[in-house]
Amino acid sequence: MSEPSTETQAAKTASAPPPAAHEGHGHEDHGHEAHDPIHAANPHLAHHFDTPQQQFDAGKLGIWLFLLTEVLFFAGLFCAYTVYRSMNPEVFVYAHYFLDTKLGALNTCVLLISSLTAAWAVRNAQLREQKMLMINIVVTIACACTFMCVKYVEYSHKYHDGLLPGHNFQPKEQIWELKSFRDKHPEAAEYAEKLAKLDEKKAEAPAGGAAKPSEGKAEEKAEKIERPTEEELEPLLNAGLVGPRSLDPSAHISRPRMAHVFFGIYFFMTGLHGFHVLIGIGIWIWMLVKAAKGQFGPTYFGPIDFTALYWHLVDLIWIYLFPLLYLIH
């Protein structure tokens, strides 16, 4: 093992610890301090690793395996998104008018900048640039908090506007009242408004006709005739609000069927991502404490590197979420 040619091999095999550590006293920790020069020289080298390199490589492989499972974890949600969007494209067109692209873009930039500071922090740790390391971790945490604040603003906005999943989907503002929609499709906005009034009338009709069933039926028939045909819906079709498959007379034509499912997907995807950001903030604070103790240097920077890798993955997921949810054409 003392020959240079075999030493790298020996370093990689966990079964061959340095002889000093082996003889006499099994694997007691105090034994390492006194007799194992490598562990004595590296206070952050765990006793089950032989060298800092081995410890770092093992950790790196571990974090990559974890990131792999994270990708597969989010894959389920992306699958739900893909299937639902291919079935109901008009729902996504409809719902994206309720999302604020500016806030989404702001959050994208904030996360990208935090990714830079995270990658920079790894460099600082490798080079033992203590001060810059602390600054970069603090900036990363600040960016993460900014991201969560913007998310809070978005979520509370959605909550107040009744844009919630399932039964709670009761939009206070209608699509034709949204500036983003009006600017883009003024004709369709007017048309949708007209249709909505029609829907309202229709909703009142059965209630009025309940006393006299025969009259009510006649009224309903009249309403059905009044309903627009497919050609008449052209402005809405052009605006992408009505899919050719969603011409259901019983549904509100001014709002696509199952629009609420979009907000289920939206809240679940961004919520799970936000949860990852929160966990990331926690880990970065932990790293800040470790960095403040001056633990990181050329032979021990694994934790910073692995946290940064996790952080980049969170960024990666947002890179896909942003266009998929906010930038629908």
Q: Which of residues 209-248 bind another protein (CB under 8 A)?
A: 240, 245, 247-248
Compute the least distance from the CB of residue 302 to another protein, in Å: 8
For residue 297, give Cα distances in angstroms to 58, 127, 305: 18, 6, 12
214 vs 86: CA distance, rounded Å: 42
Q: Which is nearer to another protein, 89 or 264 (CB)?
A: 89
Half-sphere exposure of 140 (CA within 13 A, CB side): 33
Among positions 103-142, residues that touch another protein (CB under 8 A) are 105, 108-109, 112-113, 115-116, 118-120, 122-123, 126-128
CB of 238 to another protein, least distance (A): 11
Closest CA to 304 of 139, 109, 66, 59: 59
Min CB(70)–another protein separation in Å: 8
Q: Indicate the residue among 34 and 159 with the shorter CB distance to another protein.
A: 34
**Helix or strand or coil: residue 19?**
helix
Instruction: Spell out, one character per residue from 9 to 28, where the chain touches another protein: x when CB under 8 A holds, - when not.
Output: xxxx-----x----------
Q: How far is the CB of 87 from another protein (least distance, A)?
A: 7
Backbone angles phi, psi at 169, to 5 degrees: -80, 95
The conformation of residue 211, written as its DSSP 8-state character, comes to S
Q: What residues from 33 to 92 belong to the interface with another protein (CB under 8 A)? A: 37-38, 40-43, 50-53, 56-57, 60-61, 64-65, 67-69, 71-72, 75, 78-79, 82-83, 86-87, 89
Whichever of 264 and 297 has its CB closer to another protein, that residue is 297
In Å, how far from its chain's centre is CA 17?
43
Task: Pick between residue 15 and residue 250 the one whose CB is nearest to another protein.
Answer: 250
Give the span between the Cα atoms of 326 and 92, in whole angstroms: 10
DSSP secondary structure letters along 239-273:
TT-S-TT---TTS-TTS-TTHHHHHHHHHHHHHHH
- Report how far Cα 124 is from the mean position of its chain's Cα atoms: 28
Q: How far apart are CA 96 and CA 180, in angstroms?
A: 10
Instruction: Give 71 or 279: the residue with its C-beta nearer to another protein.
Output: 71
Q: Which CB atom, from 201 or from 224, has the smaller least distance to another protein?
A: 224
Query: How many angstroms separate the CA atoms of 274 and 144, rounded?
Result: 10
Q: Is the CB of 134 or the CB of 193 nearer to another protein?
A: 134
Residues 165-204 that bind another protein (CB under 8 A): none
- Residue located via tokens 């998929």: 324
Site string for another protein, 267-306 (x = CB under 8 A): ------------------------------xxx-xx--x-
Number of residues that bind another protein (CB under 8 A): 81
